[in-house]
Every structure is written in C-alpha cells, then in structure tokens.
C-alpha cells in the first residue's frame, strides 16, 4: 500500500481532485471539524484535528488498498499551527508520514467556502510558503503540482502511476 498525501494552501484543488481520482480517499478531518465547531481555532483544536486525521487514515489503511489518497495529514496541520500561532508543537510532526506528498501550488483562484482563512494574495503566498517549508522540515519526498485544473490532474495521476 502507498499513501499519497495532498498538501498545500487552501483552495488549490486538493479535495476536488482527490474525489476524481478513483482511489480510496481519507477526507480532510479539519473541514468537518470546523463546519461543526466553527473556525475560531485554538492550538488544542489543531492537536485534535491532527489526531482525528491520523485516526481516519489508520482506519482506512487497515483495508490495505493499493493506493490510499490522503486529502491532508498532520504535516499540513503543522503548517496551520505555524500560520495561525507562529509555532509548531512537536506532536504535529511526530505522526507517521505518507510514503509520498503532492504539494499543490497556490496558482489557481481562491474560493471562499466558509471554512477558509487566507484569501488575500499576501496571506495566501505566506501560507503556501509555510506549507512547503513544513514538508522540508518533515523530511518527506514530494512533487510540486501546479497549473490549470487539467494540468494538475494529469500531474497527480502521473505521480501516482510512478508508484
């Protein structure tokens, strides 16, 4: 089994593309969490989100599908912690990592869906840079996904096919 984690700033097509790939997907736990509890997040909320995301990944991985797509994982939650609070608790980077990450660039239009935070060009660029730096900090392998929607899908499918 290989876990492919979609990673990157908000509104870059991760969830939409995950649903189109035809593989089992672990959805973004943080989205459901925020829809239920609101978006006034604390560090305790981020720790709970990471725990919930990891538990969902482990449950889905128990079925041992050949490919499991993770809409996000605790490494992205670490990026949220850095962006929102200026620090990353070690627990967020201690979770088991996916076998490969796909970093979605913020080069498509931002869309507000009610749970998103960083729509200004400056904030979006900062969050995208933090997301990338968190992958580097975690020491994981990743490919960059960019361009229009059709190009992104082709790049993701090609990356998964390599495995």
Q: Inform me whether the pLDDT recorded for 75 exceeds 90.
A: yes
Are the CB atoms for 71 and 15 separated by under 8 Å? yes
Distance CA 46, CA 50 (A): 6
Domains of the chain: total: 1
The neighbour count for residue 121, using CB atoms within 10 Å, is: 10
Instruction: Domain of residue 112: give its range.
Output: 2-162
**pLDDT-based confidence at residue 118 (cuts at 50, 70, 90):** low
The band of 66, judged by pLDDT with boundaries at 50, 70 and 90, is very high
- Is the pTM value of this prediction over 0.75? yes
3-state helix vs strand vs coil in the chain, percent to 5: 50, 15, 35
23-54 per-position pLDDT tens digit: 999 999 998 998 899 888 999 999 999 999 99
Task: Give me the torsion for CA of 32, 114, 42, 12, rounded to 10°.
Answer: 80
CA 88 to CA 142: how far, in whole Å? 20
């Amino acid at each position: 089994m290989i876990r492919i984690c979609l990673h990157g700033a908000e509104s870059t097509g991760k969830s939409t593309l995950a649903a189109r790939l035809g593989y089992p997907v672990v959805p973004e736990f943080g989205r459901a969490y925020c829809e239920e509890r609101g978006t006034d997040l604390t560090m305790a909320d981020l720790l709970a989100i990471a725990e919930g995301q990891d538990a969902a990944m482990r449950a889905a991985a128990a079925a041992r599908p050949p490919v499991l797509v993770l809409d996000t994982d605790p490494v992205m939650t670490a990026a949220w912690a850095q962006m929102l609070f200026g620090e990353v608790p070690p627990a967020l980077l201690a979770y088991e990592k996916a076998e490969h990450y796909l970093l979605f660039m913020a080069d498509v239009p931002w869309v507000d869906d009610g749970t998103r935070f960083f729509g200004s060009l400056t904030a979006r660029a900062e969050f995208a840079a933090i997301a990338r730096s968190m992958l580097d900090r975690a020491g994981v392998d990743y490919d960059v996904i960019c361009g229009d929607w059709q190009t992104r899908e082709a790049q993701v499918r090609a990356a998964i096919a390599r495995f």
